[in-house]
Structure 1
Amino acid sequence: MAEVTGALGPLFLLILLGAALGYWRQPGDDFWPQMERLIYFLLFPAMLVATLAEADVTQVPVGRLALVMLGAMTIFSIVLWRSRRWLRLEAAAFTSVFQGAVRFNTYVGVAGAAALHGSLGATTAAVAVALMVPVVNVLCVASFIAAGTLGSSSLGKSVAALLRNPLILACIAGIVLNLSGIGLPGWSGSTVELLGRAALPLGLVAVGVALRPMALLRVDRGVWAANMIKLVLMPALVLGAAWLVGLDSVSRDVALLFAALPTATSAYILARQLGGDAEMMAALITGQTLLAMLSLPLWLRLAGG
């Protein structure tokens, strides 16, 4: 337990630092939205390209990892949709519950994997991102379409935004560079790697800045359902499946880590743009991020035991 807490503790402290900066509005209200754009469109894609382009992906059991992670995500997507009538949620609220249950905070996931297992953990996490980011984005946009919160014009914009997603494009670029044998030649490797190093600490601080403590006052059936799936049921299913298919300890920990992560802060933006319940989304992001500081070490300790 001490090893897990020691690895994840500094990450959570960076998130809390961000929460403090957000509370005191430092360095200013206009600073963090621009920083988030820099992280999302440049720094984090650079980290993914640098990792995937040079990684020895033969060390990662890609097929079994995909089966465990994508299988669990698909199962709970179906369960949520079939439970929609029982939850008795309006369309906008349901889309936020859906995002809260299946999306994951990529910054925390990659940083946690690297802290726990070094370069192999970072490589496995990058493979996990390449597998999951396209699927989760398609599933979430599909939930808005199926719930009927989009107009025809918004649908076209959503599909276009999906095709331009910088994380998806970075994963494709990294995989192509890897499989082609080109890699990152000359100074490009060091340059992209340096850019990528800034992504995780700044991303974690930005996660904290995005927290909205007042949103925690909203606790209803939808919030409970999303939190139960994201923090309890999803990691339990992934842990059982990882043991069943015989994942190695690093791949198992990364799969479990991504399953138990709090939902992504970008889900709030998607909720606002596509007709979701933004207030509920803020409550889910804030509550899950704080709860995950307790639940993540417990799940990883259980896996290691």
Structure 2
Amino acid sequence: MTSVEQALGPLFLLILTGALLGVVRWPGGDFWTRLEGVIYHLLFPAMLVSTLATAEVGSVPVVRLALVLLGAMIAFALLLWIGRGWLSLSQPAFTSAFQGALRFNTYVGVAGAAALHGSAGATVAAVAVALMVPVVNVLCVAAFVAAGTLGPSSLGKSFTALARNPLILACLAGIALNLSGIGLPGWSDATVSLLGRAALPLGLVAVGVALRPQVLMRLSAGVWAATVIKLVLMPALVLGLALLLGLPPISRDVALLFAALPTATSAYILARQLGGDAELMAALITAQTLLAMLTLPLWLGLVIG
């Protein structure tokens, strides 16, 4: 078994455990919806603050990492918009395909980076989150606006939600604590760290619960186009850029990991709220998450022994 398989295998098993819990609907009611809210608003931000506030962020080549990850993301956003006519999708379906090609599952990315490279990998992953989350949210909201599915009243709400995004705020807080030299003094370090440790295993199980295998019957052109971009073309471009710009091994590996991630489960909520095709989005999330269990180890196996 390779180091990549050893690192990613347990993560995939947690996702599949969540999928099983979703199938048997245990626990019932709105348990998982509420838990996902706790993870998104408390536990995962705590993990980001804990990582960024105490990490040696100066060791991360931020400018080159941004050029690689954001350059590839913006390139494919433009490609999708230019080629939207070729896809022959309705406007709501196009916005879901757009999200499916660009969004990434943050829980899997940070957990994978930590599993592959420990605290150094988690630090690069936290920086990647700080760079990518604001940009991908702006691009996706812009796609809804341009497609005409988003009413003017929803535009203000969307950007207000972006400004209040707990992941963005956590990254800003962690970086500010780091640069100021304050860090996490006293008991706050251990407390925030303990909260953060719960984020990744619970987040991965929640990813599995959100999968909907029954929607895989809808494997349309939009699903395949977005999936090929997300799991094949995006990582290929990112790997090429990373090698061209000479990213150090850990940053290169994490950049490739984030490029090859399946789309985010939160994209379903955004599609439902902003006029996208929610059922197509559900099919994209499920198909990409399952396929990524095959493609992620293949991509990472190219650069990690």
Assess same fold via TM > 0.5. yes
Match of 2:278 in 1: 278
Match of 1:157 in 2: 157
Q: Tell me the SS of whatever aligns to 1:303.
A: coil
Q: Does 2:167 align with 1:167?
A: yes
Instruction: State how far apart, in whole Å, the 2-side matches of 1:202 and 1:232 are.
Output: 28
Match of 1:63 in 2: 63
Match of 2:34 in 1: 34
What whole-Å deviation, never above 9, does each CA across 1:211-268 have from its counterpart, x for those lacking one?
Answer: 0001111111111100000000000000111100001111011000000000000000
Match of 2:256 in 1: 256
Q: Tell me the SS of whatever aligns to 1:89.
A: coil
Match of 1:218 in 2: 218
Instruction: State how far apart, in whole Å, the 1-side matches of 2:148 and 2:14 are.
Output: 38
Q: Does 2:189 align with 1:198?
A: no
Q: Number of aligned residue pairs: give it.
A: 305
Match of 2:140 in 1: 140
Dislocated runs of 4+, deviation >6 Å: none
Q: Is the 8 A contact 2:4 2:304 kept in 1?
A: no
Q: Is the 8 A contact 1:109 1:125 kept in 2?
A: yes
What whole-Å deviation, never above 9, does each CA across 1:5-61 have from its counterpart, x for those lacking one?
Answer: 010000000000000000001111310000000000000000000000101011111
Matches within 5 A, 1:171-186: 171-186=171-186
Q: For structure 2, which runs of at least 5 residues remain unmatched after alignment?
A: none
Match of 2:266 in 1: 266
Instruction: State how far apart, in whole Å, the 2-side matches of 1:109 and 1:67 are.
Output: 18
Superposition deviation, residue 304 in structure 1: 2.9
For normalisation by structure 2, the TM-score amounts to 0.99
Percent identity over the alignment? 77
Match of 2:81 in 1: 81
What whole-Å deviation, never above 9, does each CA across 1:93-134 have from its counterpart, x for those lacking one?
Answer: 000000000000000000000000001000000000001001
Counterpart residue type for residue 292 of structure 2: A
Instruction: State how far apart, in whole Å, the 2-side matches of 1:220 and 1:30 are.
Output: 30
Instruction: State how far apart, in whole Å, the 2-side matches of 1:6 and 1:198 are.
Output: 21
Instruction: State how far apart, in whole Å, the 2-side matches of 1:159 and 1:131 are.
Output: 17
Instruction: State how far apart, in whole Å, the 2-side matches of 1:56 and 1:79 are.
Output: 36
Instruction: State how far apart, in whole Å, the 1-side matches of 2:304 and 2:42 are.
Output: 35
Counterpart residue type for residue 178 of structure 1: N
Superposition deviation, residue 159 in structure 1: 1.1
Q: Is the 8 A contact 1:104 1:264 kept in 2?
A: yes
What whole-Å deviation, never above 9, does each CA across 1:151-198 have from its counterpart, x for those lacking one?
Answer: 111111111111110001001101111111111111111100000000
Instruction: State how far apart, in whole Å, the 2-side matches of 1:149 and 1:162 are.
Output: 18
Instruction: State how far apart, in whole Å, the 1-side matches of 2:74 and 2:205 are.
Output: 30
Give the CA RMSD over aligned residues: 0.8
Q: For structure 1, which runs of at least 5 residues remain unmatched after alignment?
A: none
Q: Is the 8 A contact 1:239 1:303 kept in 2?
A: no
Instruction: State how far apart, in whole Å, the 2-side matches of 1:258 and 1:28 are.
Output: 32
Instruction: State how far apart, in whole Å, the 1-side matches of 2:29 and 2:242 are.
Output: 43
Counterpart residue type for residue 260 of structure 2: A
Instruction: State how far apart, in whole Å, the 2-side matches of 1:296 and 1:192 are.
Output: 30
Q: Tell me the SS of whatever aligns to 2:150.
A: coil
Q: Is the 8 A contact 1:18 1:206 kept in 2?
A: yes
Superposition deviation, residue 62 in structure 1: 0.7
Counterpart residue type for residue 165 of structure 1: N
